Amino acid sequence: MFSWWPVSKTNIKNSQIKAYLQEVSEIEERYRELMGKLSLSNPKCLNLLSEKKLFLQKFKLGEVYNPQLKFKIRKNDGRAITALRRFYKNLDLKGDFFNFKHLYRKKVEQLLNNCEAHCLWGNPQSTKFIIKSKGCPSWFLFLKAKIFCKHYHGHRLKYKHKLSPETMGEELLKYVKEISGEKLSVVYTKYLASKAIIYPKKHLLKINTKASFNDVELERLKAHEIGVHFMRYHNAKKLGRLIFEIGTANYLETEEGLAVYNEEKNGVLKSSQMFIYAGRTMAAYYTLKKSFYQIFKILRNYGFSKKDAFDITFRAKRNMSDTGLAGGFTKDYVYFSGYHQVKKYAKLHRSKVNDLFLGKFALEDLPKLEKYLKYKE
């Protein structure tokens, strides 16, 4: 004969949570499997240097010319994309106790739009899927960027000491060890678009040997690369869920905005960098209607150097073979918009700003994740 005791609400809840988290683990495993079969890095432009030289020559002569770009496009396995669509369709959103199912559905939807954009890369039609995936700047944000550029007066942050790339590497590795206990590898290379970049998953730091460094730049990289990009990943691993490590669908806007905000908070934000971010926002807005030549000319009128104006315009047209056509890659507004979003949030919710460092999620996702964060506490 079996005795029967009523099961407490706590036990029922715990068993439900356990079953739910097991279901989420299966979703994560399937996601990892599908991502291993896809290549979603942006196709490389094969003739950028020659087209840049030709464009600048013609611009100097007063001739209108729009670069004609060629790309190295890697085709994705159609079966993998079909499997991703099936995965998206079959995600059961019922009983989504911690909102992870909804976050994965949104993430997969973004990936599917990325796949469509890659299939159409070089074609203006790719723009439609880029906007679905990355968004585009609002008129109000465009206006804010335009006003910033109009009133920009560059000033340099004063530094005391110049530093070698090797010293920069040593100091940044020391700082990572100090605040996280982790060790990174460092690679010194002249083939790097920025001064330094960190790859949190690979535990790798790359330093540009051709760049000039100083003590202020060291503090800026500590605040930006280590304080945000590395620590968000480092903290994410403690939460035990993949979505915090890979980032929710729109995490990048918050990530880059938080990095710029952290620079400002530490007194190392360069106005020249904000000028670039504002220029990228204007280019992302204009690219939907204007040609490469028109955008470049507008940026030059706002005081951007030929190099910066070309680089910004190329980033906004990087998915177009014929850059004379309307359309483009709108993503680059997120640096400027993210900063203003985070700054506004910090002003209204100063006590909650540190929550943004817990993992790679978007500001809009924080309310959805609060229940899980409390559970992990």
pLDDT tens string 30-79 = 999 999 888 888 899 999 999 999 999 999 999 999 999 999 988 888 89
Quote the pLDDT of residue 3: 40
What residues have CB less than 8 Å from 28, skipping those under 6 apart? 104, 241, 242, 243
Q: Which amino acid is at 315?
A: R
The 3-class SS string of 55-105 reads HHHHHHCCCCCCCECCEECCCCCHHHHHHHHHHHHHCCCCCCCCCHHHHHH
Q: How much is the pLDDT for 10?
A: 52
Q: H or E segment at 189?
A: strand 185-189
163-238 folds as Zincin-like (3.30.2010)
The secondary structure of residue 99, as a DSSP letter, is S
Check if the beta carbon of residue 66 is closer than 8 Å to that of residue 56.
no
Q: What is the mean pLDDT of residues 176-186?
A: 94
Q: Which residues are bridge partners to 322 per DSSP?
A: 68
- pLDDT for the residue 56: 97
Q: Taking residues 290-309, what's their average pLDDT? A: 97
> What confidence tens digit (pLDDT) does each residue in 127-173 have?
999 999 999 999 999 999 999 999 998 777 788 899 999 999 999 99
Residue 12 pLDDT grade (very low, low, confident, very high; cuts 50, 70, 90): low
Domain ranges of the chain: 9-151+271-335, 163-238
pLDDT of residue 7: 43
5 pLDDT more than 80 = no
